[in-house]
Structure 1
Amino acid sequence: MGDRMMCPELWPYGLLQYYFDNYHGRSKLTIPVSDMVPFELGEVRTTGPLSPKYDTMAFAHYCLRTIKSFLRHQHSLIPLRTTMSGKTVVVTGCSNGGLGAAMAKAYQAKGFRVFATLRNRSKAGALEKIKGIEILELDVTSEESIHQCAKAVEKLTGGSLDVLVNNAGISTIRPLLDTSVDDAKKLYDSNVWAILLMAQAFAPMLIKSKGIMCNISSVSSELPFAWQGTYSSSKAAMTRISETLRLEMEPLGVQVVTVILGAVETSGNDPNNRKELELPANSYYQQIASIINRHNKGLVHVKKQNVDVAANNVVNDVLSGRAGFVRRGYASSLTWLLNTFLPYALTTKMINGESGLGELKR
């Protein structure tokens, strides 16, 4: 296997020198890592170098020790699923061009019988034509719709389910002061309470098959990104629910995986598919409305991972027997690194460097 994590030589600002554009001579140090641990790195732009307040070599060694500990203990393992033929999976949020659709295809390619769900069947696209993928309509914000879907799957599978993937969700870019609480509640219904309702409805089938639940969270759950207050807080809540489900369902024979997803190229973040942001005329943020709209339209430069690559990585993680946290997508491990090695105030300032907040202060 022999996968390796590559990061630059740890000088002069320690491990996070990797993430800055203003250094020269990208000499690299190779750190062998277990094939069982996904660790994908990205980069962050900053306006200037950091001035170290500590001995850099001591800091570098501390970074390495911490990373090795992270890689060794981040994930617990469960028995490898070797026989996939005849296995069943439900994947939510399977609109064409999204991560859900890509995961549905990845599971189908491994021999699974796939139940791909989405609110509007007309958005299934090519999934309709793939043998082994069955389309079911499901509104994850409706308890009645969830129970109807669970009954349909129970009838089709004989009462068992091997994998449940909770991927459906919505995102929004908007200042909190201009956010309707009703809209925020709808977002929480989709991103938070849907996970709990799906777990409750499909638990009997998962318990019967000693199956796996995979919940898709986001790097936004770990740090405060300006204009993403409702979305990032919903993902933080969802992550905590997912981790608690892991604890509570493990004695029942069900493994729960929480995927911390980084930047992925999907149809949902295509600028052509996102509406223009309109702020109230009296918004405190009118001065930087155009900057916020660039974030809303996905026009701020962020490198993204191919959706099929991300989907295959997640599916392989689940089927290789991983439980706990998995980090996939571009820069998916960056938030962990920043939270671990930098002061919180510096981290939040750095990740919001292109938010427009600096211009607003002027």
Structure 2
Amino acid sequence: MPLKTVLITGCSDDGIGHGLATTFHQQNYHVFATTRNPHTMSKLKPLPNVTLLTLDVTNQDQINAAVAAVQSHTGGTLDILVNNAGRNHFMPVLDEDLEQTRELYEINVWGPVRVTKAFVPLLVRGRGAVVFVTSIAGYVNVPFMGTYSGSKRALELMADSLRLELTPFNVKVLCIVTGAVRTMGQTYFGDFKLPEDSLYKPIEAKIAAQARGEDGVERMDLMEYSRSVVAQIVNGETGRFWYGNTAERVRDGISAVRNPVMDDALIRTTGLDML
């Protein structure tokens, strides 16, 4: 019997995509693991039944090449597509460079849409599933994460519409609303700086520490997260699966619109009270 297939975007070593790829491989899937630079997938490279592909989710030519590679291997079907690639981001809304923000949305919102559009014909033939890795940030108005949070929530709302739109074609759609997970994502902000004229310059060190994950939040082990997420995908779940540290608490009790108690806590924990 041919192996079932999964394509995952954003599989750099020790990130969420890497954890999901490793778990699917352990469950006897053929994994198409992708990143912008395949050299960042060194831990997946030695594994059998893993195909490494170059894929920038903003590059249509690379997306088309990935579709062709999967078609060549499978004969034209795909069982699961996992849209995981994305960029983290910290900056007060008033300090945003709008060109950089547009690039963020190209990666976090339109990138997964482009990839999904390209692979849907293969998923329809395989009666497969599309998965979007989203974030609890889309439900929590954390200061200095407004544009990132907006990108994750925007993607989730579109994915939820897609879930209904693909129902007639027997393709499932699932959003993984992800809480705090221990990955390399907290290592990318060592040189974080605010503009010199920022209103928030007095608390720059506090914001930088938050960006680096030095916020006192406990993070779930990557492989624990990956095993539970893959189980949901393989079981054919649709809608939303909330997982990762604090995810259930956000699901059960936090409003992203108005919650005075939460607003007060966020003001204090992010240093705004110091201003």
Shorter-chain TM-score range: over 0.9
- Cα distance in 1 between the residues matched to 2:258 and 2:247: 19
Pick from 186, 200, 203: which aligns with 1:288? 203
Q: Residue type of the partner of 2:58?
A: T
Pick from 238, 241, 250: which aligns with 1:335? 250
Q: 2:80 is matched with which residue?
A: 163
Q: CA 1:327/1:352 → structure 2, altered by over 3 Å: closer, same or farther?
A: farther
Q: 1:300 is matched with which residue?
A: 215
Q: Does 1:132 align with 2:49?
A: yes
- Cα distance in 1 between the residues matched to 2:201 and 2:68: 49
SS of the counterpart of 2:240? strand
1:62-91 Cα offsets, whole Å, 9 max, x none, are xxxxxxxxxxxxxxxxxxxxx9x6100000
TM-score, normalization by structure 1: 0.73
Q: CA deviation at 1:260?
A: 0.3
Q: Does 1:258 align with 2:175?
A: yes
Q: 1:7 is matched with which residue?
A: none
- Cα distance in 1 between the residues matched to 2:48 and 2:105: 34
SS of the counterpart of 1:264? coil
Q: Does 1:199 align with 2:113?
A: no
- Cα distance in 1 between the residues matched to 2:266 and 2:21: 32
Q: Residue type of the partner of 2:130?
A: M
Q: CA deviation at 1:352?
A: 4.1
- Cα distance in 2 between the residues matched to 1:325 and 1:276: 35
Q: 1:214 is matched with which residue?
A: 131
Q: 1:315 is matched with which residue?
A: 230
What are structure 2's unaligned runs of at least 5 residues? none
- Cα distance in 2 between the residues matched to 1:135 and 1:348: 44
Name the % identity. 31
Q: CA 1:101/1:179 → structure 2, altered by over 3 Å: closer, same or farther?
A: same
1:245-291 Cα offsets, whole Å, 9 max, x none, are 10101111100001100000001213xx4332111111111111111
Q: 1:348 is matched with which residue?
A: 263
Q: CA deviation at 1:351?
A: 3.6
Q: 1:98 is matched with which residue?
A: 15
CA contact (8 A) 1:117 1:135 kept: yes
- Cα distance in 2 between the residues matched to 1:148 and 1:275: 34
CA contact (8 A) 1:279 1:286 kept: yes
What are structure 1's unaligned runs of at least 5 residues? 1-82
Alignment of 1:1-362 (within 5 A): 86-270=3-187, 273-339=188-254, 344-360=259-275
- Cα distance in 2 between the residues matched to 1:251 and 1:150: 23
* Segments of 4+ moved more than 4 angstroms: none
Q: Residue type of the partner of 1:132?
A: N
Q: CA deviation at 1:334?
A: 1.4
TM-score, normalization by structure 2: 0.96
Aligned-pair RMSD on alpha carbons?
Answer: 1.5
- Cα distance in 2 between the residues matched to 1:88 and 1:113: 5
Q: Residue type of the partner of 1:209?
A: G
Q: CA deviation at 1:129?
A: 0.6
- Cα distance in 1 between the residues matched to 2:91 and 2:246: 23
SS of the counterpart of 1:127? coil
CA contact (8 A) 1:276 1:296 kept: no
- Cα distance in 1 between the residues matched to 2:21 and 2:70: 15
CA contact (8 A) 2:143 2:266 kept: no
Q: Residue type of the partner of 1:262?
A: G
Q: CA 1:327/1:276 → structure 2, altered by over 3 Å: closer, same or farther?
A: same
- Cα distance in 2 between the residues matched to 1:312 and 1:302: 21
- Cα distance in 1 between the residues matched to 2:156 and 2:268: 26
Q: CA deviation at 1:320?
A: 1.4
1:281-330 Cα offsets, whole Å, 9 max, x none, are 11111111111111111111100000011011100011112111101111
Q: Residue type of the partner of 1:302?
A: V
CA contact (8 A) 1:265 1:304 kept: yes
1:335-357 Cα offsets, whole Å, 9 max, x none, are 122236x9622223224431111
- Cα distance in 1 between the residues matched to 2:50 and 2:264: 45
